[in-house]
């Protein structure tokens, strides 16, 4: 039960991350490059993660570390983009937590018997 919920959360958070970056960079002068770097990876990982792909969830979690770092940098250096940056920070933390939850639960969860 917890695993299916975490994979759905991971997939939904990755899709939300892609939509966030689509909105953030839609009128950037380097929009194509920005969308290829920021929006395409979570978009490609969202469906496999939703379906329970462990590799997709793992790589989503790894990439979320970079998205988190990018969000922190932008939040503190570009006040005009702070709302997008904080949304990216929160979504990246959600991706990391949801992708890591099955492993954390297996390692530290209650043992039966």
- Whether the pLDDT of residue 3 is over 50: the answer is yes
Residue 59 counted as domain residue: yes
Number of domains in the chain: 1
Runs of H (alpha helix) within the chain: 2-24, 31-34, 40-50, 54-77, 82-108
Residue 73 counted as domain residue: yes
DSSP conformation class of 80: G
Residue 113 counted as domain residue: no
Q: Are 101 and 2 in contact (CB under 8 A)?
A: yes
**pTM exceeding 0.95:** no
Predicted local distance difference test score (pLDDT) of residue 106? 83
Residue 93 counted as domain residue: yes
Rounded to an integer, the average pLDDT of 57-77 is: 97
Distance CA 56, CA 73 (A): 26
Q: Are 21 and 39 in contact (CB under 8 A)?
A: yes
When pLDDT is cut at 50, 70 and 90, the band that residue 113 belongs to is low
Rounded to an integer, the average pLDDT of 78-93 is: 97
Tell me how far the alpha carbon of residue 65 is from its chain's centroid: 8
The whole domain housing 15 covers 2-108
When pLDDT is cut at 50, 70 and 90, the band that residue 1 belongs to is very low
- Whether the pLDDT of residue 111 is over 80: the answer is no
Rounded to an integer, the average pLDDT of 44-64 is: 93
């Amino acid at each position: 039960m917890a695993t299916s919920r975490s994979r759905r959360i991971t997939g939904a958070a990755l899709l939300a991350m892609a939509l966030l970056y689509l909105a953030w960079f839609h009128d950037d002068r380097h929009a194509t490059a920005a969308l290829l770097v920021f929006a395409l990876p979570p978009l490609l990982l969202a469906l496999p993660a939703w379906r329970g792909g462990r590799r997709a969830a793992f790589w989503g979690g790894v990439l979320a570390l970079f998205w988190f770092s990018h969000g922190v940098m932008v939040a503190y250096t570009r006040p005009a983009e702070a709302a997008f940056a904080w949304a990216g920070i929160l979504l990246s933390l959600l991706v990391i937590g949801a992708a890591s939850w099955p492993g954390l639960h297996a390692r530290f969860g209650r043992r039966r018997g």
